Chain A
Amino acid sequence: MTAATEHVTPPADAPAPAAPDAAPVPARRERLNPLNLLNSGFLVLWGIFTAFPLLWAVMTAFKTNREILSLPDCRAGWRFWVWLWCMVDPPTSLEFDNFTRAWTQASIGVYFINSIIVVSGSLVLTMLLGSMAAYALARYEFPGNRIIYFGFVGGIMFPVFLALVPLFFVVDNMKLIPVVGQYITLNSYGGLILVYVAYSLPFTVFFMSAFFRTLPTELAEAAAIDGCGHFRLFFQVMLPMAKPGLVSIGIFNFIGQWNQYVIPLVLMPDPDSKVLAQGLASLAVSMGYRGDWAALFAGLTLALLPLLAAYLLFQRQVQAGLSAGLLK
């Protein structure tokens, strides 16, 4: 900062060569505008507000329960760094045993695997059925097309609570179907998968049919002239072209289905069939009573990390998807 102030560039509006974002032209105003300082202060403060609670949870996951119980009084030391260290309160040692306890005893492992099975099944099925319906509705004219389309899209605005009671009985009654019934009733992966797919369809159909409508018709016509059937046209021509749209809506559905809370709460009451979100919430209550904070925070951290990974991955994917869409 000091180096930049010393060398004064004669033409006032020439771009600063060294640091393009270190900005204001020196001639007119001082560099450290108090307003800008205040500005950065707010930004940093909100950053701390957002990030520190999460960091605190991760740090607590590495502490022993004895360490968590001890409460140092930060007001004792008047020196700033001592006070700050006391406020941040990092763990003194890394207690990996907490994670083993969370994974096995607190069954985070079971919940985690349940979530992975359900969401991988429902995500694939949502994308497949959603884009099939969207394609048929966007590219073909037939009587009833608009009725089906608005039937799907209308579902976006209904609150899920309205359907909660009847949905419970619909899924419960599936057990009456011979042979397959047991796989799609309450407490079964199949049942939850089908419900997730059904409730993800409105937005998926809405989004994908808008996407299919933007794809050029020439290619489809050329393929049809070459004798390509409807099914091959969809799977080998249209679906690959819709990839950017599929990526965006796939990420959207993944986050939505992975984070779903109230539907599994109602449809998966059995302790062994809980998904991660639900298991974590019931753990928060039971671990609170038992006083095992360390295991609870380890479980919370285990639930956080894949989302952090997915988020970093998601940023890159969406950028790639968007730029691919722009280049077309």
Chain B
Amino acid sequence: MRHGKYPFLVAFLAPPVALYGVYVVSPYLQAFYISLTRWSGFSGNVEFIGLANYRRLLEDDQFHTALVNNLILLACLPVITIIMGLFFASMLNIGGRRGRAGIRGVAGSAVYRVIYFFPQVLSVAIIGVLWLYLLAPGRGLVDRSLDGFWLGWLTPNEGWLGNPGTAFWWVLAAMVWMNVGFYIVLFSAGMQSIPRDVYEAALLDGASRFTTFWRITVPLLWDSVQVAWIYLAIIALDAFALVQIMLGNAGGPSRSGDVIGLNLYRTAFEAFNFGYASAMGVTLFFLTLIIAVLAMRATRRDRVEFS
């Protein structure tokens, strides 16, 4: 069987490697070079300008708004989503544990899980359009519901998405809404793999529900929490689709809800300033890299193995 190994390997590896090289590796490498140039695209006129694009980024107020918004998402989205995920997952699994030791799902927990998970399979475009119309002034579900609860006065005059003070927070709300379900299911699966005797022991020692949750459930789920943190951080650094659909290409009222991805998209495909756009892409890349390393470091703990 030794003979013919190399022709076989070439036949199997050449097509995927070629495809990957042309469409993934070469664009990534080119991006670093393009970020050092001034290039309006279609003319062949590429001018090398060194780090001038990066210097310009430092003084670009609109880029700062976008950066700050991404950092807000980075600070809020993982925390809110993980806390809500843990909360609902523990409700589903440890719900009625009094009287009988150990964990036990509440009635109908499978049904809850199916419903909670559903937004996760929807495309982010569908969710963006849905939320755009949920928040439509007057006729949207949010305004109608608030009205029905005698809370209609809360809505700002320009509508939720027309007000610079509220628009971006609704994007965050939509992001939490679409992601929580997945983490409920993820944490829920993690909780079910925690052995019952751990809970029985805690119950015998007279631990309260709250103590059990913080001292047993959360530490034993730490691996899942760490994974969740990294995934959510990556989502928070993107946010392009929701912002673009809910707030438009401009990034909302007075561009208050801008994010880096959208700023890059506008700079490249509306202003045709490809060098500057690539500099934003490189910045985003390094931001992702830093966050990934930090997340790995900060959440590192001793693993607990159940034998």
A-side interface residues toward B, CB under 8 Å? 21-25, 28-29, 33, 35-36, 39-40, 42-43, 46-47, 49-54, 56-57, 68-69, 71, 73-75, 83, 86-87, 89, 129-130, 132-133, 135-137, 140, 142, 148, 151-152, 155, 157-159, 161-171, 194-195, 197-199, 201-202, 205, 224, 229-231, 234, 255, 258-259, 261-262, 265-266, 276-278, 280-281, 283-285, 288, 293, 296-297, 300, 303-304, 307-308, 310-311, 314-315
Q: Are the C-beta atoms of B104 and A21 separated by less than 8 Å? A: yes
Q: Are the C-beta atoms of B123 and A201 separated by less than 8 Å? A: no
- 24 interchain pairs (CB within 8 A)? A25-B99, A39-B96, A52-B141, A71-B139, A136-B8, A157-B288, A158-B288, A159-B237, A161-B238, A162-B28, A164-B265, A165-B278, A170-B27, A198-B19, A224-B1, A230-B1, A258-B123, A259-B124, A261-B240, A265-B265, A280-B129, A283-B129, A284-B129, A311-B121
Q: Are the C-beta atoms of B122 and A304 separated by less than 8 Å? A: yes
Q: Are the C-beta atoms of A170 and B23 separated by less than 8 Å? A: yes
Q: Are the C-beta atoms of A170 and B123 separated by less than 8 Å? A: no
Q: Are the C-beta atoms of A129 and B15 separated by less than 8 Å? A: yes
Q: Which of B99, B114, B122, B129 has the most CB of A within 10 A?
A: B129
B-side interface residues toward A, CB under 8 Å? 1, 4-6, 8-9, 11-13, 15-17, 19-20, 22-28, 30-31, 34, 41, 87-88, 91-92, 95-96, 98-100, 104-107, 112, 114-119, 121-126, 128-134, 138-139, 141, 144-145, 147-148, 150, 177, 180-181, 209, 234, 237-238, 240-241, 244-245, 248, 260-261, 264-265, 268-269, 274, 277-278, 280-282, 284-285, 288-289, 292
Q: Are the C-beta atoms of A47 and B123 separated by less than 8 Å? A: no
With A29-B98, A136-B13, A199-B23 in contact, is A87–B132 under 8 Å at CB?
no
Q: Are the C-beta atoms of B112 and A43 separated by less than 8 Å? A: yes
With A46-B88, A230-B5 in contact, is A148–B24 under 8 Å at CB?
no
Residues from chain B with a CB closer than 8 A to the CB of A276 are: 123, 125
With A42-B88, A46-B116, A281-B128 in contact, is A159–B284 under 8 Å at CB?
yes
Q: Are the C-beta atoms of B99 and A24 separated by less than 8 Å? A: yes
With A39-B106, A198-B19 in contact, is A162–B265 under 8 Å at CB?
no
**SS class of chain A's interface: helix, strand, loop or mixed?**
helix
B37 CB to nearest A CB, Å: 11
Closest residue of chain B to A87 (Cβ to Cβ) is B148
Q: Are the C-beta atoms of B9 and A51 separated by less than 8 Å? A: no
Q: Are the C-beta atoms of A198 and B22 separated by less than 8 Å? A: yes
Option from A47, A148, A155, A234 in Cβ contact (under 8 Å) with B112: A47
A280 to B261, CA, bound (A): 20
Closest residue of chain A to B23 (Cβ to Cβ) is A198
Residues from chain B with a CB closer than 8 A to the CB of A29 are: 98-99
A43 to B113, CA, bound (A): 10
Option from A50, A130, A262, A280 in Cβ contact (under 8 Å) with B126: A280
With A39-B106, A71-B138 in contact, is A164–B9 under 8 Å at CB?
no
A142 to B12, CA, bound (A): 13
A86 to B1, CA, bound (A): 74
Residues from chain B with a CB closer than 8 A to the CB of A23 are: 96, 99-100, 104
B55 CB to nearest A CB, Å: 19
Closest residue of chain A to B140 (Cβ to Cβ) is A56
Given contacts A39-B91, A280-B125, 19 further A-B contacts (CB under 8 A): A21-B107, A29-B98, A35-B209, A43-B91, A56-B134, A87-B144, A136-B8, A151-B20, A155-B24, A155-B25, A165-B277, A166-B26, A169-B41, A199-B24, A230-B8, A262-B240, A262-B265, A266-B269, A304-B126
Q: Are the C-beta atoms of B116 and A50 separated by less than 8 Å? A: yes
A289 CB to nearest B CB, Å: 12
Q: Are the C-beta atoms of A303 and B126 separated by less than 8 Å? A: yes
A245 to B104, CA, bound (A): 31
With A36-B96, A161-B260, A277-B126 in contact, is A53–B134 under 8 Å at CB?
yes
A262 to B147, CA, bound (A): 36
A18 to B112, CA, bound (A): 23
Q: Are the C-beta atoms of A161 and B240 separated by less than 8 Å? A: yes
Option from A162, A194, A259, A266 in Cβ contact (under 8 Å) with B284: A162
Option from A28, A57, A278 in Cβ contact (under 8 Å) with B130: A57
With A24-B98, A164-B265, A284-B133 in contact, is A157–B292 under 8 Å at CB?
yes
Q: Which of A47, A162, A170, A205 has the most CB of B within 10 A?
A: A162
A158 to B148, CA, bound (A): 46
Q: Are the C-beta atoms of A311 and B118 separated by less than 8 Å? A: yes
Q: Are the C-beta atoms of A54 and B26 separated by less than 8 Å? A: no
Residues from chain A with a CB closer than 8 A to the CB of B119 are: 50, 54
A285 to B1, CA, bound (A): 61
A35 to B241, CA, bound (A): 40
B208 CB to nearest A CB, Å: 11
Closest residue of chain B to A264 (Cβ to Cβ) is B125
A39 to B132, CA, bound (A): 31
A308 to B104, CA, bound (A): 29
Option from A73, A166, A255 in Cβ contact (under 8 Å) with B34: A166
Residues from chain A with a CB closer than 8 A to the CB of B260 are: 161
Residues from chain A with a CB closer than 8 A to the CB of B118 are: 50-51, 54, 308, 311
A259 to B235, CA, bound (A): 14
Residues from chain A with a CB closer than 8 A to the CB of B265 are: 164, 262, 265-266
Option from B9, B112, B139 in Cβ contact (under 8 Å) with A142: B9
A311 to B133, CA, bound (A): 24
Closest residue of chain B to A12 (Cβ to Cβ) is B99
A302 to B292, CA, bound (A): 38
Residues from chain A with a CB closer than 8 A to the CB of B240 are: 161, 261-262
B200 CB to nearest A CB, Å: 12
Q: Are the C-beta atoms of B126 and A33 separated by less than 8 Å? A: no
Residues from chain A with a CB closer than 8 A to the CB of B261 are: 161, 262
